[in-house]
A = this chain, B = another copy of it.
Amino acid sequence: MGSFMIRTDLALEARESVEEGAGALRGVSVEEYCKKQSEIKVTKVTIENKNSAKTLGKPVGTYITIEAPALSFPDAEYHAEISDELAIWLKRLLPENKEDLSVLVVGLGNRDVTADALGPRVVDNLVITRHILLEFGKAAYQEKENVPMISGLIPGVMAKTGMESAEIIKGVAEKTKPDVVFVVDALAARSTKRLNRTIQITDTGIHPGSGVGNHRNAVTKESLGIPVIAIGVPTVVDAATIVTDALGKLLGNASRELVELREQLQMQSGEFYNMYVTGKDVDYEVKQISHMICDAIHKALEV
């Protein structure tokens, strides 16, 4: 990716930023689906091998991005459409032919920082069934054939716990033995246009150092021994990224001037360290989207 780092959690954006200069990438397959009426666009990026993983700075695996321009608007019907779509793709990542699936849903992030509260808010609204199934069995849900066993965990951020989220999740997963872990988190995008309008789901879990800059240890199928499905929505853009991208637009990405300016900026960007950009309606938007993701999880698990 050259001499400077594009800060994005979206595989979609990582690919775009690489292809801008280099053309189509080997080892990366891309499928796109558009729903004209709802303006929902689904992109499935598969990073197939270690080479392409290195180029994109994302691990090998499947990344599904659902772009829905009106995601944060208050339109209940439209939200139902998006959560239907999200549920379809979540289901494809779930273990097959598994009845009575046991799922631990983890909400990462800091509930006291609006742009980082997506994960905790999704778990807040979830239908939790594990304790009821363990105490009363399926009798408590007698009409239903399939009753997923859902538990929820909000580990909190390292500054407030002193522990990596990964340590907490691993410890809890070992004791409670779910079949699969969902991890919901707020992401960083490269473009403000994607904020609160895009959902990414991936079977690659959560990786340290990616994302908003919190060095979390990995939460993956390798580290936990069970599938980990990450669900993320970009709610912030890194402040340094926004400045370099604005420059790129003005000067042309390939220009020598830009390269020089970027280097200078990099040097001066202490000012932007630990700074991020977010929208003024982030409060309302995170609330809307957390409900939508919650609905999609319920639909995917057939609660």
A275 part of interface (Cβ distance < 8 Å): yes
Q: Which residues of B contact A114 (CB under 8 A)?
A: 112-115
Q: Are B124 and A160 in contact, with the CB atoms below 8 A?
A: yes
Contact residues of A: prevailing secondary structure: helix
Interface residue tally of chain A, by bracket?
A: 35 or more
Query: A86-127: which have CB < 8 Å to B?
Result: 110, 112-115, 123-124, 127
A271: min CB distance to chain B, Å: 5
A272: min CB distance to chain B, Å: 7
Q: Are A212 and B170 in contact, with the CB atoms below 8 A?
A: no
A19 part of interface (Cβ distance < 8 Å): no
Q: Are B271 and A191 in contact, with the CB atoms below 8 A?
A: yes
Query: Residues of A with Cβ closer than 8 Å to B?
Result: 74, 110, 112-115, 123-124, 127-132, 149-154, 156, 158-164, 167-168, 170-176, 191-193, 212-213, 239, 242-243, 246-247, 249-250, 261, 264-265, 268, 271-272, 274-284
In the complex, the count of this chain's copies comes to 4
Q: Are B163 and A130 in contact, with the CB atoms below 8 A?
A: yes
Given contacts A152-B162, A167-B175, contact A110 B283 (CB under 8 A): yes
A261: min CB distance to chain B, Å: 5
Q: Which residues of B contact A276 (CB under 8 A)?
A: 277-280
